[in-house]
Chains A and B, each alone.
Chain A
């Protein structure tokens, strides 16, 4: 390679791959071929630079310059107690709790270990599970996603969740991702979710760092396979402190008559959040809803890249992302919708709206539609706006302070996305977070 950004980390990861974990005797690992192929891609392309069209507005250089370990020291794990975990529960959410520490399933802190309907295991121990190999890495394009390639080459652990055909998981699975390292760490969790025919699953993911002062880099990949007539509601609540950086690659594959709903809320905190959300509609008559709310302040960078790939006829997809940006925050929205030639009778909608609360906040919004079929209904749009002065004055003229008026208007702006979050406790949790943040911003 000619120039490589983050050369130190790049070299460290290359060493990891060559010597540490995947020495020839470990070639038995059933995903070895995936790792090999993926590492080749990463080795060639390195970390994405702004020359890469998909990373044009998100420069990783400053986020990768810290000294980062690729292994967590064992003693760092001891400090997480059940009491610690409890503080990350969502009020009123009746759920099965799964706790991951630094990407590894922690059985003793988790309240649920699977039942006749759903099996839950560490992905590191899934090698012998029949449904592991046919799915892992199947739809992830490692050629064009060098970070996903890096994860595919080097992932150590994560969750493997499998819901049996016709199984309805009785409660949502609340996955609490806890990061716990006293020194800077680069983590690569890998999750695989397979929801078989006619099954139903609700997942709620939340994130937290135990050591607020040290850098946590998450380069995660999650694959979700929604089989025929299955339903998945997937909530992703991202928050974190300064020093948290996450690149979250989520690859969804939907079969006939399946339904997938993604609700992503990115709340203020983390330095960098990059979500790559790809939905592959590989069969007819699927339905997909992607709702996102992002709220940034300080010097945060929130980048949502999504792809909805309509490969087959009669599928419906709707994406609506809304952003609220204060301070020097920057957001990127890039939503691609592909409608392949075969995908007649596609309905695909996409909308991105942004509210800028400061002169220094920036948004780059780029909805993209590429249509190769002729009998389709598609629309997309994007707006970037500020407070309506008329609305502010109206509220103030009724005795409402400027700060409360701004708060009401921000909440009103967020309303039509937040209102789509079906699980009431999750929705209320987010509403509370929004209010809390607004109080900080406007006080």
Chain B
């Protein structure tokens, strides 16, 4: 589903991604962990098409489409979804109007008719139930005045509405209380299917107890320095990152 090869990217002159390789297949859940500032959000941003990143080398394919050639909106329409680490507040744009516009533009891209008001409302209700997200938020401005946790839950609600192929959840778990973490995880598990895939960026093993990953990767200094199965996350929880950093330093000396 997603094939990243030797991806290099920089902001201004600063090299941030230094050769990322990653293969995510349909039906899989991958977790990406790693110390602060290692480039996890940057990878997500580059894939989603944030402007200030310049890709200097490598490729990223979503199914057969070269993501790097597409505008951010076309990446979304092709089925990419990024749940932001820091969702933006947009006063004056209503949550509901925003979602309707997004959904219908994605449908138009796929050659589908816009959803009529009734079907849209029905879908909204159904997905709200799925992620157990309070209906009142849909009448408010997009994320405005939402608490940290509410913003994260709104991201998952949007995900549920837009039904992407590949979702990247950037630290969706941080800021969620214990109940919300369980609810959000349940929602994601219900949305998982053989036709979609998830990348979970997280610092904590706890999320991975709920959403069990098929693979765990450690990103450090712009590279994936270790990949493994869910046991790797447990090991990291116990030992931290220093032993991995040391290994990298040693390899550098060789």
- Using CB atoms and an 8 Å cutoff, list the residues of chain A in contact with chain B: 388-391, 393-402, 404-405, 408-409, 411-416
Contact = CB atoms under 8 A, between A and B. Distances in A.
B91 A412 contact: yes
B76 A394 contact: no
A400 B92 contact: no
Nearest to B75: A397
B66 interface: no
Contacts of B71: 396, 402
B76 A396 contact: yes
A391 B71 CA distance: 15
Given A415-B92, A416-B92, A399 B98 contact: no
A399 B162 contact: yes
A87 B196 CA distance: 53
Interface stretch (B100-108, B228-236, B244-252): B100-108
A393 B84 CA distance: 11
Contacts of A402: 71, 73
A402 B101 CA distance: 12
Given A393-B48, A415-B92, 8 more contacts: A389-B51, A397-B48, A400-B101, A402-B71, A402-B73, A411-B93, A412-B93, A416-B91
Interface of B: 48-51, 71-73, 75-77, 81-82, 84, 87-88, 90-93, 97-98, 101-103, 105-106, 109, 141, 158, 162
Contact of A398 (B50, B76, B97, B109): B76
Contacts of B87: 394
A395 B82 CA distance: 11
B105 A399 contact: yes
22 contacts: A389-B51, A391-B88, A395-B90, A395-B98, A396-B76, A397-B48, A397-B49, A397-B75, A397-B84, A398-B98, A398-B102, A399-B102, A399-B105, A400-B73, A401-B73, A404-B105, A405-B73, A412-B90, A412-B93, A414-B92, A415-B91, A416-B92
A235 to B, nearest CB: 21
A390 B84 CA distance: 11
Contact of B105 (A391, A400, A413, A415): A400
Nearest to A390: B88
Given A398-B162, A399-B109, A404-B105, A393 B93 contact: no
A396 B101 CA distance: 11
A389 B49 CA distance: 13
A412 B76 CA distance: 22
Contacts, number: 79
Contact of B92 (A389, A393, A413): A413
Given A393-B51, A394-B84, A408-B101, A399 B76 contact: yes
A390 B86 CA distance: 10
A260 B214 CA distance: 66
Contacts of A395: 90, 93, 98, 102
Contacts of A408: 90, 93, 97-98, 101
A72 B82 CA distance: 63
A291 to B, nearest CB: 15
Contacts of A409: 90, 93
B106 to A, nearest CB: 4
Most chain A beta carbons < 10 A, residue from B105, B109, B158: B105
B92 A399 contact: no
A408 B51 CA distance: 20
A442 to B, nearest CB: 14
A156 B102 CA distance: 55
B92 A411 contact: yes
A301 B84 CA distance: 41
A265 B211 CA distance: 52
Nearest to A401: B73
A399 B106 contact: yes
B76 A397 contact: yes
Contacts of A412: 90-93, 141
Contacts of A415: 91-92
Contacts of B141: 412
Contacts of A416: 91-92
A393 B72 contact: yes
Given A404-B101, A404-B105, A408-B101, A396 B72 contact: yes
A405 B98 CA distance: 9
Contact of A400 (B50, B82, B102): B102
Nearest to B72: A396
A413 B90 CA distance: 10
A421 to B, nearest CB: 15
